[in-house]
Chain A
Amino acid sequence: METIALSENLKETIRIDAKNMYYRQLNDMVREAIASGAKDVIIDSVNGQRYIGAGIERKDVTIIINGTPGNDLAAFMDGPTIIVNGNAQDGAGNTMNDGKIVIHGDAGDVLGYGMRGGKLFVKGNVGYRVGIHMKGYKNQIPVIIAGGTAGDFLGEYMAGGILILLGLNNNTHSIVGDYLGTGMHGGVMYIRDEVNPYRCGVEVGIAELDDGDKNTLERYLKEFCDDFSLDFNEIIKERFVKLYPKSSRPYGRLYAY
């Protein structure tokens, strides 16, 4: 890919109209644009096309999506930045390894499933099973921040990384659902609300944030607020609680006899 000679015809920005386009053709065009050296790919009239940005390995590329991208947005993505001006459907950031997704709307279910690196910022609400089995290793720390509320099973089987839930503009009685962190054995969640223990899996501990937690939270939250033009000071002044796994290996002795 790097061997392609950059001609004077090189366009840094390529714009694609995705109206009524099948997802395979759209994704071929995005890949061709990036291969030809484009740094910004703007896709208009997106509606339901799946797998946009999937598997792309370049760090210096930004894909801007105007519309509603389909399922498995940025699955296995490894580097690019994706900005969605709209809502995302199910499975965004599925097993993503690196890069950043910024969604200026809501996101659906199984957001960041098995995510192993990169950042996933959602301005609005997120669905069920968000951050299910996300994991981290050494410098690979996946981060999901959602500005709104989350459905049940947030951080289920969580093995690593950071999940932050803000509950901004929330009118419901709880910003989290049930089965919170069920099976959690790594990583950490910061929830900007009281968390009733009955909503949590038995593997989850609830604690106050220590100084290390506060540093981590503030660092990522500032970036989130910059991306969405939100008032950091307003958001940080509310109380957060920390959810952590009581054990890194809760079922290590389950089959031992």
Chain B
Amino acid sequence: MRSQELLWRTKDPEILRQLGKDISGCGLSGIINIRGQRISGEAIRCSIACQHDRGNGLGGGFAAYGIYPRYRDYYALHIMYDSHDAKNSTEDYLDHHLSVELGERIPTRPVPNINKPPLLWRYFVKGRKEEEGDFEIADDEYMVKIVMGINATIPGAFVFSSGKNMGVFKGVGFPEELAEFFMIDEYQGYLWLAHNRFPTNTPGWWGGAHPFNLLDWSIIHNGEISSYGINKRYLEMFGYKLTLMTDTEVVAYLLDLLVRRHKLNLNVASTVLSPPFWKDIEKSDDKEKEAFTALRMVYGSAMLNGPFAFIFGFTRGMVGMNDRIKLRPFVVATKGDNFYMASEEAAIREICPEPDKVWSPRAGHSVIVELDRSVTV
């Protein structure tokens, strides 16, 4: 059932439902410069390579922000295809729904261990709302529909990155091999995420590697979202299509729902994902008790259960957090305007030997790092 071909070709919701989820235990690394200064991807490659043994060669990936300044006003769609048919169908779809400023192959280098990569293309696009006859719909909302439309209906095609002035690069292999393959050292970004995957429940496949992305939300994750089923059904009520067969996908879409659509601030959104235990809510003062109770009542189905550490990036920042009883490692450090997050302290010291401060945040408490207000990106 779970052959690579099936993973690529099926868009049948019933088969997807049966395929269920993936559980993974992995290595994470993230860097942000809060002044928006861009650094080469070489740093994040070194950091994630230091955590080589946290993965098993079945998945690695990067998210980079600030890499497409020339096309900053266009959505950068990164799409993987298993065939030219899939590419032709998708490009017809894009031409029909969007203005495509540029479509090109994502540059790669030959790397011995990266076998049979899919066709990897990127498109810088803008919406053509007027032809849809719907003038009200926002650009972001429209783009989510496009992404969900391709991922849920065109066999062999997956959009794995859809933000502006940012991009996700991922696949099957160790992350340092994928860095070489995708020429990560040649990109300059002010925010970088990297992931080393150790998949345990489904085959490692190109679409299942981290980061998971929607618009500018990118998420990397170590652990298991045991609440996947509840979260998935909740998201489906809001029109999200979960097609990538990995639990982490729900976190990207939950953030899109909570922050972009429901306008919760990052602190409140983090509390929704990882709320205090009822026993701790009982001990809070009246005002907090009321707020936490309301969040748990309204957003009970958005709560993440299970062991996890994750880092998510977006245009203006980076957030890291643990599950509430800290079943996965997570370390944070600062050095001047740079903030670092990783699974292991060594991964930070590999690229920042003398940090100003290093600490492990308490379980369930998010660390939110945002770009300085004066910075435009």
Contacts and interface: CB of A to CB of B under 8 A. Distances in A.
Interface of A: 23, 47-48, 50, 67-68, 70-71, 87, 89-90, 106, 108-109, 127-128, 151-153, 177, 179, 198
Nearest to A50: B53
Interface stretch (B6-14, B56-64, B357-365): B357-365
Contacts of A127: 326, 360
B325 A70 contact: no
Given A89-B344, A151-B363, 5 more contacts: A23-B53, A47-B50, A48-B347, A68-B346, A87-B345
Say what secondary structure dominates the interface of chain A: loop
B246 interface: no
B349 interface: yes
B178 to A, nearest CB: 20
Nearest to B46: A20
11 contacts: A47-B346, A48-B50, A48-B347, A48-B349, A70-B346, A89-B329, A89-B346, A127-B360, A152-B326, A177-B362, A179-B325
Interface string B346-373: 1101100000001010110000000000
A128 B363 contact: yes
Contacts of A70: 344, 346
A92 to B, nearest CB: 12
B188 interface: no
A152 B363 contact: yes
B344 A151 contact: no
B326 A151 contact: yes
Contacts of A177: 362
Contacts of A90: 329, 344
B162 interface: no
B248 interface: no
Contacts of B358: 87, 106
A109 B345 CA distance: 12
Most buried by A among B325, B349, B360, B363: B360
A108 B346 contact: no
Contacts, number: 51
A243 to B, nearest CB: 20
A177 B350 CA distance: 30
Given A68-B349, A108-B329, A152-B325, A48 B344 contact: yes
B24 interface: no
Contacts of B346: 47-48, 68, 70, 89
B47 to A, nearest CB: 10
Contacts of A106: 358
Nearest to A172: B362
A47 B349 contact: yes
B153 to A, nearest CB: 44
B51 interface: yes
B348 to A, nearest CB: 9
A232 B371 CA distance: 45
Going nearest first, the 3 A-B pairs with the smallest beta carbon separation are A48-B346, A128-B326, A47-B346
Contacts of A109: 326, 329, 360
A71 B344 contact: yes
Given A109-B329, A128-B326, A152-B326, A68 B345 contact: yes
A177 B324 CA distance: 12
B232 to A, nearest CB: 29
Nearest to A153: B325
A152 B283 CA distance: 17
A23 B51 CA distance: 11
A89 B345 contact: yes
Contacts of B345: 68, 87, 89, 108
Nearest to A70: B346
Contacts of B283: 198
Contacts of B329: 89-90, 108-109
Contacts of A87: 345, 358
A89 B330 CA distance: 10
A48 B50 CA distance: 7
Contacts of B349: 47-48, 67-68
B54 to A, nearest CB: 9
A45 to B, nearest CB: 9
Nearest to B322: A128
A108 B350 contact: no
Contacts of B50: 47-48
Interface in B279-313: 283
Contacts of A108: 329, 345, 360
Contacts of B51: 48
A89 B53 CA distance: 14
A85 to B, nearest CB: 13
Nearest to B277: A178
A47 B363 CA distance: 25
A127 B363 CA distance: 10
A27 B218 CA distance: 37
Interface in B123-165: none
A108 B344 CA distance: 9
A128 B327 CA distance: 9
B320 to A, nearest CB: 16
Contacts of B362: 151, 177
A128 B326 CA distance: 7
A51 B100 CA distance: 52
Most buried by B among A48, A71, A108, A109: A48
A139 B360 CA distance: 35
A47 B350 contact: yes
Nearest to A90: B329
Interface string B211-231: 000000000000000000000
A233 to B, nearest CB: 30
A198 B283 CA distance: 11
Of A50, A68, A87, A177, most buried by chain B (CB within 10 Å of CB) is: A68
